[in-house]
Chains A and B, each alone.
Chain A
């Protein structure tokens, strides 16, 4: 009897152990510790120099070096804080795996921040190169996409200004776009989202290298237009903001106007709220763009007193014209490339899908032919800290 009970207890105990081991085994079998990882912060995509396939460049952070720099210890043979690596393969995925021929640690893509794409890849179709990053579970959809006319690997290797890692510098460049609103930052998720729309063309910001004081530095330089996944043209800074006005992504920046009678005035944009309406009437696509903008006077190069309500009215009109100018410029470029970067077609699809069904096959033609009406309401609200330039003025009677 007692023996039975003991057996029973042993049986139960071993059963419990077995269950425990099973439950514990259900964890993450691909977990890796930080010191066994190569954390990738930036990647570059290019076609392979020989044969078909891709060449992928990686920027891997040397975490230890980052720390020693902030400590100021430095020392003789200090390594760069990043390690640049290149590997090739018939697909991006294979190229990523092939990197382990050179890297002692497996590459970890979850913290990748930027994807630098070469012009060649953008010309040959971007989605086949990006596909891996959406499909694989490691990379996030919140990586910034940038296009470069230079070698992507050079961008990753460039001096990063005040930062230690160029990819992180690029992230900051993207995040402060609203200081000028002349760059359109694009997430991987944004690209995919626009790409799946039938009529909308994609844009990517352009980054390139320029040399100053013997160092290679980074420079954001306009916007690329990709139609049907392929690079077709470029917008300069002014045209880019023209695009952003319509998309409602102008969140700040400055705008300069020529004053009548010489001189210039620069305004700081506070915000701008657009209202776009697309209709199909009388055989043409009619677009109505209304923008409400608020700004403040930021600088002037004349001695005139611009602070009076009458002057404000004039300044507002000047600004209205300047904004319309920018939009028209972007529109002209887009029409020249026959690329609907504004998403007018998508708007029509969302609000009048029956008409869109009829037009979508020849949307290019309708887009070029579209009649665009722009109405801008600019408000100058603030003066800064002075009313007028500090010149002596006679007392008014």
Chain B
């Protein structure tokens, strides 16, 4: 098994990249238009709550990852079943992310390139990174997230001449139920998907800093997403609602003295690097989890077959972009909630009950 260690700071950056990941490309809750930043804020709140649950669970079983916790709490059979459910979730998250990126690349720049020509190199690099272990993933993430955040901050300057603060008004013109639903969607995806870090927490070298690192990462990602979405809405106005990739689109309008134009490369770079980290983490959790499930000595040989599986899932999971968007709008909030709220709650509840039972039996 992977003996690599990462620092708390690296964990923070990983959480950030993972959360920014694919949501930045195909954001949900765009119907809320100018209130998108508020949705992200609420979503961040929800995400922090989910993180609290996970961290509470982790505190009861320090040094154990999610699958080990399952087995400790439910015993080997039911525990493995729970772990299997999560394996599916990781597979679906990773495959979905890969699918989003291929869709985006195909509809923006690489219109005539076949899916496989985009997918295969990507998957190869992801497999390579995954086999190298979490240390390498964390270290390769550092420059990428710095570049992404840096470019997004520079974007603020780039859009100054076309940004209209008025576009962010009116504040809260939609019914609250709508806002709550959209916020739930954002809480579950991208923030809730961070449940995947339950597989990585034991790898952190200074365990007492884990909680702070996770929260820091979530807040950092929330801020970055808020900035870029507010920029998109401020530049595009209500049009952001009808665009498939608003965060990509607003860079196309940037025009500073006819010199700085056509800056689509910036969002593409950001999206690709963040997506790369997210998919790599998904694959790592998948391979690691599978190895654990079957009591294998090492996860490394699994990276290739599971990587190929990821590729297949990515091609099949969303037959069209329209189904994809409908899924995120209407299904994902329930579905994701099951994995980031219901299952951890059940696990935590059972752990508490059994813990109490054990204590009562002990004396």
Name A residues whose Cβ lies closer than 8 Å to a Cβ of B: 19, 22-23, 25-30, 137, 140-142, 189, 192-193, 196-197, 349-353, 357
A37→B297 CA distance, assembly (Å): 57
Given the known inter-chain contacts A140-B252, A350-B170, please indicate yes or no for A193 contacting B112, CB distance below 8 A.
no
Q: Are B170 and A196 in contact (CB under 8 A)?
A: no
Complex Cα distance A27/B118, Å? Answer: 8
Inter-chain CA distance A350–B33, complex, in Å, is 12
**B360 interface hit (Cβ, 8 Å):** no
Partner of A137 from the list B109, B114, B122, B238 (CB cut-off 8 Å) is: B109
Q: With a CB–CB cut-off of 8 A, which chain B residues contact A192?
A: 239
Set of chain B residues within 8 Å of A25, measured between Cβ atoms: 117, 120-121
The answer on a CB contact under 8 Å between B120 and A189 is: no
Cross-chain contact B170 with A353 (CB below 8 angstroms): yes
Q: Which residues does chain A contribute within 8 Å of B111, judged by CB atoms?
A: 30, 137
CB <8 Å contact, B121 and A22: yes
Interface residues of B, Cβ cutoff 8 Å to A: 107-114, 117-118, 120-122, 124, 166, 169-170, 173, 236-239, 241-242, 249, 252-253, 255, 261-262
Q: Beyond the given A25-B121, A350-B169, could you list 13 further A-B residue pairs with CB under 8 A, ordered by the A residue number?
A: A23-B124, A25-B117, A26-B117, A26-B118, A27-B117, A29-B110, A30-B113, A141-B252, A141-B253, A196-B237, A349-B170, A350-B170, A351-B170
The prevalent SS among residues of B at the interface is helix
Residues in B whose Cβ lies below 8 Å from that of A352 = 170
Task: Closest B residue to A137 by CB, please name it.
Answer: B108
How many angstroms from the CA of A351 to the CA of B110 in the assembled complex? 42
| Closest residue of A by beta carbon distance from B237 | A193
User: What are 6 A-B interface contacts by the 8 Å CB criterion?
Assistant: A22-B124, A23-B124, A26-B117, A26-B120, A26-B122, A350-B170
B242 proximity list for chain A (CB < 8 A):
196
The 7 closest A-B pairs by CB, nearest first: A30-B112, A350-B169, A353-B173, A29-B113, A353-B170, A26-B121, A29-B112
Question: Which of B109, B170, B241 is the one whose CB lies under 8 Å from A28?
Answer: B109
Shortest CB–CB separation between residue B246 and chain A, in angstroms?
A: 12
- CB-nearest residue of chain B relative to A347? B166
Chain B residues near A197 (CB, 8 Å)?
Answer: 237-238
Report the separation of the CA atoms of residues A169 and B238 in the bound assembly, to the nearest whole angstrom: 32
Chain B residues with CB under 8 Å of A141's CB are 249, 252-253
Q: Shortest beta-carbon distance, A138 to chain B, in Å?
A: 9
Closest Cβ of chain B to A359, distance in Å, is 14
B263 to A: closest C-beta gap in Å: 12
Least CB distance from B78 to A in Å reads 42
A376 to B110, CA, bound (A): 53
Taking each of B108, B170, B236, which has the highest tally of chain A beta carbons within 10 Å of its own beta carbon?
B170
Output the least CB separation between B350 and chain A (Å): 46
Q: Please report the C-alpha to C-alpha distance between residue A271 and residue B295 in the assembled complex, in whole angstroms.
A: 75
A350 touching B166 by the CB < 8 A rule?
yes
B-chain residues with CB within 8 Å of residue A350 when the two chains form the complex: 166, 169-170
Contact residues in B for A353 (Cβ distance below 8 Å): 170, 173
Check B255 against A142 for contact (C-beta < 8 Å). Answer: yes
A30 to B166, CA, bound (A): 39
Closest to A31 in B: B112
B164 to chain A, nearest CB (A): 10
Quick one: given A23-B124, A349-B170, are A28 and B113 in contact (CB under 8 Å)? yes
The interface residues of chain B lying within 8 Å CB-to-CB of A357 are: 173
A187–B235 CA distance with the chains assembled, in angstroms? 13
What is the minimal beta-carbon distance from B262 to any residue of chain A, in angstroms?
8
Contact of B253 with A29 in the complex, beta carbons under 8 Å: no
User: Given A137-B107, A350-B169, A351-B169, is A29 in contact with B117 using a C-beta cutoff of 8 Å?
Assistant: yes
C-alpha spacing A23/B121, complex, angstroms: 5
Q: Contacts of B108 on A, CB cut-off 8 Å? A: 137
Inter-chain contact A193/B113, CB cutoff 8 Å: no
Given A142-B255, A353-B170, does the pair A193, B239 have CB atoms closer than 8 Å? Answer: yes
CA distance A30 to B114 in the complex (A): 10
Give min CB distance, B109 to chain A, whole Å. 7
Q: Give chain B residues whose Cβ lies under 8 Å from the Cβ of A19.
A: 124
Chain A residues lying within 8 Å of B109, measured Cβ to Cβ, are 28, 137
- Docked complex Cα distance between A28 and B242 (Å): 27
Which residues of chain A have C-beta atoms less than 8 A from B122's C-beta? 26
B239 A189 Cβ-Cβ under 8 A: yes
- Chain B residues, Cβ within 8 Å of A137: 107-109, 111
Q: Provided the pairs A28-B110, A142-B255 are in contact, do residues A196 and B239 lie with their beta carbons within 8 angstroms?
A: yes
State the CA gap A197–B255 with chains docked (Å).
24
From residue B249, how far is it (CB to closest CB) to chain A in Å?
8
**CA gap between A357 and B175 in the complex, in Å:** 12
Task: Report B252 CB to chain A, min CB distance, Å.
Answer: 6
In the assembled complex, the CB of A274 is this many whole angstroms from the nearest CB of chain B, namely 13
Q: In whole Å, how far is B284's beta carbon from the nearest beta carbon of chain A?
A: 20
Cα distance, A349 to B34, chains bound together (Å): 12
Contacts of A30 in B (CB 8 A): 110-113
Contacts of A28 in B (CB 8 A): 109-110, 112-113
Task: Count chain A CB atoms within 10 A of each CB in B114, B117, B239, B262 and give the residue with the most.
Answer: B239
Q: When the two chains form their complex, are residues B120 and A22 in contact, meaning their CB atoms are under 8 A apart?
A: yes
Chain A residues whose CB sits within 8 angstroms of the CB of B253 once the complex forms:
141-142, 189
A22 and B262 CA atoms in complex are apart in Å by 29
Closest to A175 in B: B258
A196:B241 contact, CB within 8 angstroms: yes
A4 to B107, CA, bound (A): 47
A284 to B108, CA, bound (A): 47
Instruction: Tell me, rounded to whole Å, the shortest Cβ–Cβ distance linking A122 to chain B.
Output: 20
In the assembled complex, the Cα of A196 lies from the Cα of B120 at a distance in Å of 40
Interface centre among A25, A26, A27, A350 (most CB of B within 10 A): A26
